[in-house]
């Protein structure tokens, strides 16, 4: 009888140790309103607006804006340089046609 009790106690201890390890590995959850009320002692007042508000990650927004601005600046510089080259080619063509017309008139 005593060996059976020892085995049952050992099994119970093992299962309790496993449960304890499992709970230690779990990530802590955010406290509920009732838990906050219990620990804080006061009821935390929240407005409807605060309840509907979302947490905004401003760092991510700033990084995204930086990326967009850099891409826009690079595209603007490339577009400007290509536009200048195109205009130079067109002005050369116009000048060449004008000189031909002047030579034909003489």
Confidence of residue 86 (pLDDT cuts 50, 70, 90): very high
Percent of the chain scoring above 70 in pLDDT: 85
DSSP 24-50: HHSPPPPPPHHHHHHHHSSPPP--HHH
Under a CB-based contact definition with an 8 Å cutoff, are residues 37 and 44 in contact?
yes
Confidence of residue 87 (pLDDT cuts 50, 70, 90): very high
- CA–CA distance, 1 with 59 (Å, rounded to integer): 66
- CA–CA distance, 68 with 76 (Å, rounded to integer): 12
pLDDT digits (tens, 9 = 90+) for 11-56: 777 887 887 777 777 777 777 777 777 777 666 667 777 667 777 7
pTM of the model: 0.44
């Amino acid at each position: 009888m005593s060996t059976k009790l020892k085995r049952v106690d050992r099994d119970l201890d093992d299962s309790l140790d496993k449960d304890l390890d499992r709970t230690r590995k779990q990530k802590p959850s955010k406290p509920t309103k009732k838990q906050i009320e219990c620990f804080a002692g006061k009821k935390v007042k929240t407005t409807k607006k605060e309840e509907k508000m979302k947490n905004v990650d401003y760092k991510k927004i700033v990084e995204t804006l930086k990326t967009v601005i850099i891409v826009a600046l690079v595209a603007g510089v490339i577009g400007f340089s290509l536009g200048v080259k195109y205009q130079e080619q067109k002005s050369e063509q116009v000048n060449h046609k004008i000189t031909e017309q002047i030579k034909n008139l003489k």
